[in-house]
Amino acid sequence: MNMKPFARRSAAATPDVGQSSGAVAQHANPKDPNAEDPGQRDHFLQLMFFQASHEPAAAHDRPALPPLTGDFAPLRNARMGADETYRLPLPGASAPLRPDSPAIEVMTDLRRVPALTVDRGASIAEANRVMIARSVRALFVIDGAREMVGIVTATDTLGERPIQFAQARGVRYDEVSVRDIMTPADRVEVLDLRDVMRARVGDIVATLRTAGRQHALVAEMADGATPGPQTICGIISLTRIGRRLGLPPQPVHDIARTFGEIEALIAPH
């Protein structure tokens, strides 16, 4: 996996809501007519300038109620009226994804969904089988204590890296293991969950596009005053974003084509 560095900026240096950690170029306020348009250099980075939607809430929306406190108590039951009916949601139904949709909507929350893993000593054939069986393109690599030691992607296992490693070490292709081609944990870059919580889908796509990556990891960063382990709490996949946008699956994955199709769908018209 090509791990290009992200340019990191503090929250104080990025007052515009929606910028995610890892976006490379600091840009001017889009409301300034005299500001340089980064789209002249790379049209795709214009996605970072989408403004949040401020559509009014529907008239029938109920105001949010405060959380319950005190002793536990049974909730009120209700029955439908004479002219009412019940219906079930469509499978997989969700609100349409927009460039200014919250980025958190496309993050797989690893606090709710088990992370997909592979042992670092597993063969690349085994890693491929797991990814195919689970319809994913990346796995967390763990050791015997289930500590994350790296990440491996389909690009790693199906690309030239295994062949190059086998030739350099004088071993057979089937002797190459996940540990030989993975990106080790000390080279893995992550997005801060706090940045993702205020970012938009367009910001995430621009981040992936700029870095040339298919995945972004999200971490709950430890407080700088009390350093400690950083918990990987989410993963964002370009494939999942495309799926949410209604793109058909590709017989052969092509990252450039995927970016192009997503750009066509969410670029301003």
Model pLDDT for residues 31-43, shown as the tens digit of each residue: 444 444 544 445 4
Nearest residue to 165 (alpha-carbon basis) of 126, 124, 136, 129: 124
What residues have CB less than 8 Å from 253, skipping those under 6 apart? 137, 154, 239
More confident residue, 50 or 162: 162
Specify the DSSP element, H or E, that contains 142: strand 138-142
Question: Alpha-carbon distance 223 to 232, whole Å?
Answer: 15
Dihedral through CA 217, CA 220, CA 222, CA 228, nearest 10?
-70
Which pLDDT score is estimated for 13? 39
33-47, 132-146, 154-168, 232-246: the lowest-pLDDT one: 33-47
Confidence bin at 48 (pLDDT 50/70/90): very low
pLDDT tens digits, 222-269: 766 556 678 899 999 988 898 888 887 766 667 788 888 887 877 765
* pLDDT for the residue 226: 59
Mean pLDDT (the chain) is: 77
Report the pLDDT value the prediction gives residue 76, as an integer from 0 to 100: 82
What pLDDT shows up at residue 50?
Answer: 41
* Average of per-residue pLDDT across 107-130: 95
Confidence label for 61 from pLDDT (cuts 50, 70 and 90): low
pLDDT of 81 reads 83
Q: What per-residue confidence (pLDDT) applies to 1? A: 45
Span 195-224, average pLDDT: 89
pLDDT value at residue 91: 62
Q: How many residues does the chain have?
A: 269
For the CA atoms of 60, 61, 62, 65, the dihedral, rounded to the nearest 10 degrees, stands at: 180
> Higher pLDDT residue, 160 or 30?
160
What the block records as the tokens of 64 is 């949010």
Q: Per-residue pLDDT averaged across 153-166, rounded?
A: 94
The distance of Cα 21 from the centroid of its chain, to the nearest Å, equals 12
Judged against a pLDDT cut of 70, whether residue 161 lies above it is answered with yes
Higher pLDDT: 48 or 109? It is 109
pLDDT at 264: 80
Looking at residue 204, what is its pLDDT? 93
Coil, strand, or helix at residue 199? coil
Mean pLDDT along residues 123-150: 93
